[in-house]
């Protein structure tokens, strides 16, 4: 294995060459404490039955081990085709039939490794030869890492963000070691971890690329640096390709795009938009907004860098101490006043700390401009805590008492913010959808008819409920055709759905959330006309004489189970009945039969609506992204959903309306239908303070 070496620095200035237990004091005790805290946190917070778990996490592990390409189609929306292998361990332990608490405990133990690596990384870059000082510094950084609300949300859960964080931090730790003592093997193995993390979750690509800034600090001559850059790039690319190849091969055979649905603007599969696909939900509106983001993140506002309130002190702390340190350094440089030094600062650790700071800055910029989603930034949240505390220690190097008091105040402020978040919603705490630790992870009662007879299930709803697929009869297929990513009636996706329906006929069923499908006279949901409106896309309707109900115990109804109904719709929203038993929800499935009604009127209406909404998109292309999604008819309205900007445009009461249901429930009327039908209308549109507007 290639490697580069340099002469070690004198012992009193290069503690990085020492034993691991000298670099990270009391490692075993710290690891044990971190794991115990993670397990306790998981137990107190309860079982996480998040929307994403039900939508695609569990299904992804199932599809990775069972070839679903021949019988499923967008079963979990576009997320059906993300690399699923990171979810395989969760799927396996659930299918083994272990109790839910045992599974959560296993996951919490695995997730505690994030804190282990944070402690090691902190101790390695802290510039002090004092074992006690490194222990104190490492503990402070680890505690701050644990106090990340997003990290707390994911401990013991099925989310892959926290799982791949371990790979990212492990890769960065190896690269930091190479910065301290040049070694080609560490660069290669660090790049391998980053490549695997990126293949399993592509949002880690920014962390992998930012790792190149660490490589730039490896203290070698020019040719040596070129060599380690080559090692890094080759190992990163190779590990990514090897990890992604098995799934990418299946995607290429199915769609002609090995990264489907991503990069479809390059591969241009007809079964997904070929427009650039980017989610703008948490990306700052302007440079000023971006500069204010570290301070805004200290508040408890939802929909800032995550959907839930997630106050985080790290970034404001880091920015403030960096600016203050810069001002003091410039001031002392101008006045030629020497900066007092109490503790020795070994050169390798100082270099590693500088490298870590530069890599973090590059990562922050790329992340904030690419997504701004805090769930994708967990590795750098740990790094931000390390950097912030390191600069604070250096800034107050001669004021230990003041430093400790300030540090205690900062930790207390973060703890106070977290407590407010917890007690504001005690029913959920730091969970997206909290459930009690009772029985198995999934307590599902499937009627015998559905457990024996294979069927093709057409599911309706923003929530695909694809988690139910492993519990259905072997050979059953699932298609989520309406509510999330709409399929049909006249595109490549529609042809594939009709092909699957023809193969499965007459064993076709619908799958929706609720205990029954109710008649139109009922005030309860789902109603037959709402379901049949969506099913008419493929020429079928429900047969209410053949319905079965699946009972889900230990699960509260999750928001988004039924297609979203725009505020102000002329049809009042029906009431979804609540189960008499707490933490119980249902899925109902009815047989489908051929719909013999004349569809010519509906098709004519669809064409007219398409022309109108196409004009709306052309007037504000920045708002309606990606353009030209499938128009849906559901809940007695025509609508289009734009996932990049979270907008929905729809026709109601003769008016064209737009809404962003994730941030502002107020609808915007952008004109009359007859006016848009005659000619496009001029609009002023944009985004201000995270809210889209169109006038």
Q: What is the pTM of this model?
A: 0.92
Which stretches within 256-278 are classed as H helix? 264-267
pLDDT at 274 over 50: yes
The C-alpha atoms of residue 476 and residue 454 are separated, in whole angstroms, by: 4
Averaged pLDDT for residues 340-353: 69
**pLDDT tens digits for 521-540?**
877 878 898 899 899 989 99
What pLDDT, on the 0 to 100 scale, is given for residue 579? 53
Q: Which residue has the higher pLDDT, 234 or 583?
A: 234
pLDDT at 6: 39
Q: What is the mean pLDDT of residues 88-102?
A: 96
260/268 Cα distance (integer angstroms) = 9
Kindly give, in sequence order, each residue whose CB lies less than 8 Å from that of residue 212, ignoring residues fewer than 6 positions away.
229, 232, 233
In this predicted structure, the answer to whether residue 345 has a pLDDT above a threshold of 60 is: no
Q: What is the pLDDT of residue 330?
A: 85
- Give residue 337's pLDDT: 65
- Segments in 256-371 forming alpha helices (H): 264-267, 287-296, 314-335, 347-370
- The residue extents of the domains of the chain are 21-424, 443-597, 601-694
Characterize the bridge pairing of strands 456-460 and 508-513: parallel
Helix (H, G, I), strand (E, B) or coil at 491: coil
Instruction: Mention every residue, 6+ apart, whose C-beta is less than 8 A from residue 257.
Output: 251, 263, 264, 267, 268, 269, 272
pLDDT at residue 13, rounded to an integer: 41
Q: How far apart are CA 384 and CA 218, in angstroms?
A: 21
Kindly report, residue by residue over 31-58, the tens digit of the pLDDT: 999 999 999 999 999 999 999 999 999 9
Confidence of residue 20 (pLDDT cuts 50, 70, 90): low
The pLDDT, as a whole number, for residue 121 is 97
* pLDDT reported for residue 437: 93
Q: What is the number of residues in the chain?
A: 695
| Mutual angle of helices 113-125 and 347-370, in 10-degree steps | 130
Q: What is the dihedral of CA 221, 222, 224, 230, to 10 degrees?
A: 160
Lowest mean pLDDT among 132-146, 343-357, 376-390: 343-357
* β pairing state of 508-513 and 664-672: unpaired
pLDDT at 4 exceeding the cut of 50: no
**Nearest Cα to Cα of residue 75 among 394, 470, 453:** 470
pLDDT at residue number 692: 82
Range with the poorest average pLDDT among 105-119, 174-188, 559-573, 667-681: 559-573
Tokens of 77: 């929306």
Region of 372 (left: φ > 0; alpha: ψ -120 to 50; beta: rest) is: left
Q: Which residue has the higher pLDDT, 344 or 682?
A: 682
């Amino acid at each position: 294995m290639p490697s580069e070496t340099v002469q070690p620095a004198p012992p009193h200035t290069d503690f990085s060459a020492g034993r691991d237990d000298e670099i990270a004091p009391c490692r075993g005790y710290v690891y044990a404490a971190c794991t115990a805290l993670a397990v306790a946190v998981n137990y107190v917070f309860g079982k996480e039955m998040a929307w994403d778990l039900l939508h695609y996490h569990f299904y992804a592990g199932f599809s990775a081990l069972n070839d679903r390409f021949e019988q499923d189609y967008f079963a979990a929306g576009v997320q059906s085709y993300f690399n699923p292998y990171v979810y395989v361990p969760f799927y396996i332990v659930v299918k083994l039939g272990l109790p839910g608490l045992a599974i959560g405990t296993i996951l919490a133990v695995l997730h505690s490794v994030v804190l282990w690596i944070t402690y090691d990384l902190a101790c390695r870059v802290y510039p002090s030869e004092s074992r006690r000082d490194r222990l104190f510094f490492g503990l402070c950084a680890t505690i701050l890492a644990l106090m990340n609300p997003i990290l707390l949300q994911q401990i013991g859960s099925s989310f892959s963000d926290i799982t791949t964080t371990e790979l990212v931090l492990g890769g960065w730790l190896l690269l930091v070691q190479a910065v301290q003592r040049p070694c080609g093997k560490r660069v290669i193995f660090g790049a391998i971890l980053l490549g695997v993390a990126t293949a399993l979750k592509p949002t880690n690509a920014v962390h992998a690329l930012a790792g190149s800034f660490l490589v730039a600090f490896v203290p070698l001559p020019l040719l040596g640096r070129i060599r380690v850059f080559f090692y890094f790039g080759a190992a990163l690319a190779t590990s990514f390709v090897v990890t992604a190849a098995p799934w990418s091969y299946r995607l290429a055979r199915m769609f002609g795009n090995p990264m489907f649905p991503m990069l479809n603007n390059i591969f241009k599969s007809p079964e997904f938009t070929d427009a650039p696909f980017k989610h703008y939900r948490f990306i700052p509106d302007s440079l000023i907004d971006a500069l204010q983001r570290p301070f805004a993140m200290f508040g408890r506002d939802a929909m800032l860098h995550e959907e839930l309130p997630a106050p985080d002190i790290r970034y404001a702390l880091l920015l403030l101490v960096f600016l203050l340190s810069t001002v003091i350094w410039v001031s002392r440089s101008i006045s030629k006043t020497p900066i007092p030094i109490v503790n020795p600062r070994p050169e390798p650790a100082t270099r590693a700390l500088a490298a870590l700071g530069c890599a973090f800055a590059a990562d922050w910029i790329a992340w904030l401009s690419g997504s701004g989603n805090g769930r994708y930034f967990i590795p750098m949240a740990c790094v931000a805590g390390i950097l912030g505390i390191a600069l604070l220690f250096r800034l107050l190097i001669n004021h230990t008492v003041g430093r400790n008091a300030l540090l205690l105040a900062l930790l207390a402020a973060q703890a106070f913010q977290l407590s407010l978040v917890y007690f504001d919603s005690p029913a959920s705490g730091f969970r997206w959808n909290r459930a009690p630790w009772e029985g198995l992870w999934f307590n599902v009662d499937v009627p015998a008819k559905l457990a024996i007879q294979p069927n093709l299930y057409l599911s309706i709803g923003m929530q695909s409920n694809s988690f139910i697929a492993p519990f259905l009869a072997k050979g059953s297929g699932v298609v989520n055709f309406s509510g999330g990513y709409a399929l049909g009636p006249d595109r490549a996706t529609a042809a594939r759905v009709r092909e699957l329906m023809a193969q499965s006929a007459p064993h076709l069923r619908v799958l929706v959330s609720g205990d029954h499908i109710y008649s139109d006279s009922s005030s309860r949901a789902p109603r037959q006309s709402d379901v049949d409106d969506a099913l008419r896309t493929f020429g079928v309707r429900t047969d209410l004489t053949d319905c079965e109900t699946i009972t889900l115990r230990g699960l509260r109804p999750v928001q988004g189970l039924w297609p979203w109904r725009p505020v102000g719709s002329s049809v009042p929203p029906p009431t979804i009945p609540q189960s008499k038993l707490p933490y119980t929800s249902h899925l109902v499935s009815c047989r489908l039969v051929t719909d013999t009604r004349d569809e010519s009127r509906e098709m004519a209406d669809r064409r007219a609506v398409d022309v109108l909404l196409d004009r709306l998109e052309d007037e504000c292309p920045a708002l309606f992204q990606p353009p030209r999604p499938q128009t849906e008819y559901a809940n007695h309205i025509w609508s289009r959903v734009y996932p990049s900007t979270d907008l929905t445009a729809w026709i109601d009461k003769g008016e064209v309306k737009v809404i962003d249901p994730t941030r502002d429930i107020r609808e915007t009327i952008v004109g009359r239908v007859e006016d848009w039908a005659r000619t496009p209308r001029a609009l002023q549109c944009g985004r201000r303070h995270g809210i889209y507007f169109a006038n």
